[in-house]
Amino acid sequence: MDILKKPLSLKSLKKRLVNNRISVNVKISFLGMIDCYGFDSFNEMIDDLIILEEGYLSDINYKIVGSIPATKTDSGYVIINVVAELNY
């Protein structure tokens, strides 16, 4: 499973577009998910994980596709497939 390791530039994101939509897997800490105050906060966190520059995602769909168990130093991670329209 390919997991996005760092946010991408708009140029890199445009290369991944299919019908103006992007599909990527992101890793989110369990505590990071809990710290979100509502869906808007969650969407902003997802934007920051995917887009390096100006631009935003809309019509976002989420699907949990995996997890990484907790260790002594972290709370574990959830792997989420994000499919969204890229606006720039």
Please give the Cα distance from 88 to 78 (Å, whole number): 27
For residue 31, what is the enclosing H or E element? helix 30-35
Average pLDDT over the chain, rounded to whole? 93
In angstroms, the first-to-last Cα distance of the chain is: 27
User: What is the predicted pLDDT for the residue at 33?
Assistant: 85
In the chain, % of residues over pLDDT 70: 100
* 6-47 per-position pLDDT tens digit: 999 999 999 999 999 999 999 999 888 888 887 788 999 999
Q: Is the pLDDT of residue 1 over 80?
A: no
Domain ranges of the chain: 10-87
| Full-model pTM | 0.89
- Is there a contact between 16 and 86 (Cβ–Cβ < 8 Å)? no
> How far are the Cα atoms of 2, 54, 81 from residue 7, in angstroms, in the given order?
14, 12, 15
Other Cβ atoms within 10 Å of 10 Cβ, number: 14
